Amino acid sequence: MFGISYLDISAGLGLCATGLLTFNFLLGMMLSTAYKRSAYWKKCPPFIQKISIDDLHNWTAYIALLFVLLHPIFLVLDKETHFSFSNILLPIQAPKQPLIVLLGSISLFAFLLVIITTQKVIKNKMGFRLWKNIHLLSYATALLFIFHGLLMDPELKDRPTDWLDAEKFLSEICFILLVIASIIRYRYFLRSRKS
């Protein structure tokens, strides 16, 4: 099909998931602050201020989850990779780059945990503090997902990471955005504790 393999589709889905998860993570940080009182938010055009950030955060999470789940499925469908579903669930047995696959698998399971515990019924039964502590896993999940994307050879040939490759560049930009946003969020946390 136009020279595109299942492995290419898997890599593309992983990149889309990386971009969406980064955007979702940034939205989550906005929601955890008093962003509507911010001077920057008040300067935004009215049509942006009318957007429900909460709904956008939820929908981007569900779409990212779809991409995250499809990513390993297409990897398994590509017979040349010799990956099976058990390699995704128990990545130490993966035919290629098992430790890097492990990072992706852990981030997948952590992301699923965050999504499941965010459902209103479960969230209400857990209570806010427990839910918040679990939701903080998203920081580690984002880092694991980014490192998985940065270190994994998209052709599964165990080549060293090409840091100037366009696919890696997207992951590098997402990593930089997440680090900067985390620093800003932490500084906001420190300021809010003082006041």
Top pLDDT among 38 and 7 is at 7
Whole-number Å distance between alpha carbons of 132 and 134: 5
With left for phi above 0 and alpha for psi between -120 and 50, is residue 64 left, alpha or beta?
alpha
Q: How many helices (H) and strands (E) does the chain have?
A: 10, 0
pLDDT 10s digits, 96-128: 999 999 999 999 999 999 999 999 899 999 888
pLDDT 10s digits, 32-83: 888 888 888 999 999 999 999 999 999 999 999 999 999 999 999 999 999 9
Cβ proximity of 91 and 101 under 8 Å: yes
Structure tokens at 140: 């580690």
Helical axes 128-135 vs 98-118, angle rounded to 10°: 150
- The domain ranges of the chain are 6-194
pTM greater than 0.75 (yes/no):
yes
